[in-house]
Structure 1
Amino acid sequence: MEIIKINHSIHERFHFDTPLVIAMGFFDGVHLGHQKVINTAKKIAEQKGLPLAVITYDHKPELVYKKMDGNDKRYITIYRTKMNILEHLGVDYVFYINYSYSFQAQSPQNFVDNYLVNRFNADTVVAGFDHTYGDKDADMDRLPHYADNRFSVVKVSADLIDNKKVSSTRIRRNLESGHIKTVNKLLGRPFYNEGVIVHGYARGRELGYPTINIDYDGLQMMPSIGVYVTKVKIGNEWFEGMASIGRNETFGDNNPITLEINLLNFNRNVYGENVQVKWLYKIRNQVKFTGIDNLILQMDHDKMVTEKFFENV
């Protein structure tokens, strides 16, 4: 897969000679609804014998017109994760556009003429029914008008689970609530993040539950504070574990949020390793314990829940 990074205004000599089937969308999460769009485009590309391309953006369009804080500025899938998933889905080209004010301010007709027709040589453009691509009147209902028979337009209907639309907003809401089973159902795969193993306070070792401490990207959305069943990929191996994401309130009230994972049946020095963490099941919310003994008893129970989870999968 080739990733082509583009700043507006696109260079006048940039042009694809081969016609392309193009899927458009920000695709944060690349969830089942997004996959429906991309797989629709892929099927058309295969039928026509053409490459499959995706148009997506380097950040949320909302950054252009409003202040964003907290989880609003974070992503379900950061850049590397999104690109890996798109490649796995069979995408040939990604047009990775810097979503700037000037890009958004161009008229819909200019976007269609300058990007879809003159630069990307679109044969077919596929997007979700609610996709927009710039200033006002830039929606899928009006795209055939702007296309003026120069390319085909395919509008993909919503994907529904439990009679509700699969959407990035719905996934974000469930991540914030710790409903990881619902998140994974909407994604069509386990939610995961990546990071590097770093040194922590070594409290877990003192409790009989040594942990790996993972430094992750600050732009990555994470599940809500609590204890979870996870799997961790170190090198080419997967290990079962129970993760705690939170402030370790038993040891103080003002601690930073950390991600610590106790790996079952594991005893290796893995500092500096790059890891992938899959989130599978929420065991409980974070609790401030009145004593270390109570914390250890709870961790014993968490371990039993974790082991039972893996016995039943």
Structure 2
Amino acid sequence: MQIIHLTYPVKENVIPSKIVLALGFFDGVHRGHQHLIKLAAKTAQEKRLPLVVMTFDRHPKEVYQKAKVTYIDSAAEKAYKMEHLGVDYLIIIHFNQGFSQLTPQQFVDQIIVKLNTDTVVAGFDYTYGPREIANMKNFPKFAKGRFQIIDVPKQSYDGQKIGSTEIKQAIEDGKMEFAAQLLGAPYVMSGIVGHGLRNGHKLGFPTANLVWSENKVLPKVGVYATKTKIGGKWYDSMTSVGYNVTINQSKRIFIESNLFGFDQEAYDQKMIIKWYKYTRGEIKFADLAGLKKQMMQDKAEIKAYFANK
């Protein structure tokens, strides 16, 4: 897969052929997105054209509303998922003030048409300007017959809409199993192993401290059954999200994984956490002995969870 970063105005012949173009922000590349991309891939295969996905480098709310936005995927995580869905080109448009001021007709003429698009595939709720005008119902009016449009209906799971907003809420509520059902896989956070206070080592539970992208959606404070990858290998693990209330009163959130069967220095190495199940909230213990006893119980419970999975 080739990644192409574009800044408006878009030049001609970015891709040297007609294309099938899937449109969306695709945060999480969840089951609804996967359905859309697979439909676009089938269309591209039938027409013998490359499959292109177009997204933005930030959510439009960051520009239109100056809002702080959290994300399910980092740019690298999103690209990884796209590549594994068979996408040929991932176009990432820099969503700046100039791009945000395009009219719906300009967006179609100066972006979609300039990209030499044969077919557009987009979800029922895709917008390219003010929602009441720039919606899928009005898309043919702006297209003027220059490309085909495939409108993909809403996707649901167990009566619940599959959407990035719903998934973020599930993660923030600690409902990791439900989030995984909507995503089609466990929620993932990636980063590097940072330097901690080594309190886990003192307790006999050495931890790897995740340094992550600040705009990632954070799981609810507590302890989780997770799998953690360091040094190219996955380990069953228990991961704490919290403030280390027994040891200090820091206002900073820590994400610390105790990897079962791993006890090495791994500072600055790549680290990936898959989140499976919330097991308990954060507790302030009277002393470190109480904390250690609870951690032993946590480890036994999480080991049993993975043994039965």
Match of residue 118, structure 2, among 109, 116, 123? 123
In the alignment, structure 1 segments of 5+ residues that lack a partner are none
CA distance in 2, matches of 1:199, 1:105: 44
CA distance in 2, matches of 1:277, 1:201: 20
Q: What is the correspondence of 1:1-313 to structure 2 with a 5 Å cutoff? A: 1-11=1-11, 13-69=12-68, 73-117=69-113, 119-135=114-130, 137-313=133-309
CA distance in 1, matches of 2:211, 2:62: 25
Shift of 1:220: 1.7
CA distance in 1, matches of 2:302, 2:178: 18
Q: Secondary structure at the match of 2:268?
A: coil
| CA-based RMSD | 1.3
Shift of 1:79: 0.4
Shift of 1:240: 1.0
Shift of 1:255: 4.1
Does the Cα contact within 8 Å between 1:22 and 1:126 map onto a contact in 2? Answer: yes
CA distance in 2, matches of 1:230, 1:47: 40
Residue type of the alignment partner of 1:34:
H
Between the two proteins, the alignment pairs up a number of residues equal to 308
Per-residue displacement from partner, 1:86-123 (whole Å, max 9, x unpaired)? 11111111121111232222121111111111x21111
Query: Runs of at least 4 residues of structure 1 off by over 6 A?
Result: none
Does the Cα contact within 8 Å between 1:249 and 1:255 map onto a contact in 2? Answer: no
Cα 1:199/1:261, change in 2 over 3 Å: same
CA distance in 1, matches of 2:110, 2:130: 15
CA distance in 2, matches of 1:34, 1:15: 24
**TM-score, scaled to structure 1:** 0.95
Cα 1:255/1:114, change in 2 over 3 Å: closer
**TM-score, scaled to structure 2:** 0.96
Residue type of the alignment partner of 2:215:
L
CA distance in 2, matches of 1:311, 1:219: 33
Residue type of the alignment partner of 2:156:
L
Residue type of the alignment partner of 1:133:
Y
Shift of 1:15: 4.4
